Amino acid sequence: MLRILFSPRVVVLHLLAIGALVVCGLLGRWQLGVFEDSGKPRAALDPAPVAVGTLTGVGAHLPGEAARRRVTAEGTYDAGRQLMVAARDDGLWILTPLDLGDGTTIPVVRGWVPAADHPATAVPAGKVTVSGRLMASESSDSVPRARRLPPGQVMTVSSPELINVWRGVELRDGFVVAASQSPAPAVAATPVPVGPPTAPGALTWRNLAYAAQWWIFGLFAVFMWWHFVRDAVRSGTAGPEPEPATDPEPRSAAV
C-alpha cells in the first residue's frame, strides 16, 4: 500500500490537493478580510470650511451630516460666562461662549489646559475669528452625578445644560472645537484633536459569499484527492481472480 501511496502518479495527486487547499484557503481568507473591512467606518469627504451659522441653529438639533464639519465663527467672546469642562485627559477644556453678533451664541472649546489657573484661560478681548470643527452636543445621561464640581465647571458640553447655565442666551446647538484663532491669543491652550468626519461602512455580503465559495472549492479538492487515491489503492491491491487448477494429463482409467 505504501508503494502505491508514494508512486509518482499518486504523489502528483498529493501535491495538487495540497496546492488547491492552500490556494483556496488563502483566497477565502482574503475575501473574508475584504468583507470585514467593508464594515469599518471610513473617512468621509471633508468639505471646505463654512460659516457655523449655515449648519446649526437655535432650538434645532444639529444634523448628523454636519458633525465634525470644518467651520468658521466670527464674533466676541463672553468672558463672564466662561466655563471649564472637567475630566478631560487629566486636565480641563476651556469652554467660552462666542457671541456671533446676530443675537445668537455658539459654545467654543478653545483648547486644553492642565489646571483652571493656567494663563491660557484668559479670554481674548475684541472680535475674533475661530476656525475649527463643529461637534454635536454631548450626552449628559451617562455622566455620573456623584462627583461635585467646583463653581464654574461642568462635566459635558451639553446644549440643554448650557441653556440653563447661560440664561438669556440664544444658544445654537452643538459646539466648535477650535483649531486656530485670529488674532492669536497671547497664551494659547493646547488644541483638542478632532478628526475629520467618518461615514459608516456598508458590509459587502458578496465578499462573504466568495469566501465561502473558495473554501467549498478547497473541500471539493480534498474530496477528489481522497476519491482518486482510494481508487488507486483498490486497483493496486486487487489481483486477478485465480483460475481453477487443471491437470495437464488426464489420469488413466483404473483397470
Which DSSP category does 95 fall into? E
Residue 46 has pLDDT above 80, yes or no: no
- Strands 127-135 and 175-182 come out as antiparallel
- Count of beta carbons in the 10 Å neighbourhood of residue 149: 13
Per-residue pLDDT tens for 161-200? 999 999 999 999 999 999 999 999 999 999 999 887 665 6
Report whether 163 contacts 171 (CB < 8 A). Answer: yes
**Structural element, H or E, at residue 224:** helix 205-237
Percentage of the chain lying above the pLDDT 70 cut: 81
The model's confidence at residue 202, banded by pLDDT at 50, 70 and 90, is low
Domain ranges of the chain: 2-38+204-221, 50-195
pLDDT exceeding 90 applies to what percent of the chain?
47
Residue 144 pLDDT: 53
Q: Residue 24: phi, psi to the nearest 5?
A: -65, -40
Per-residue cell: 191: 488644541
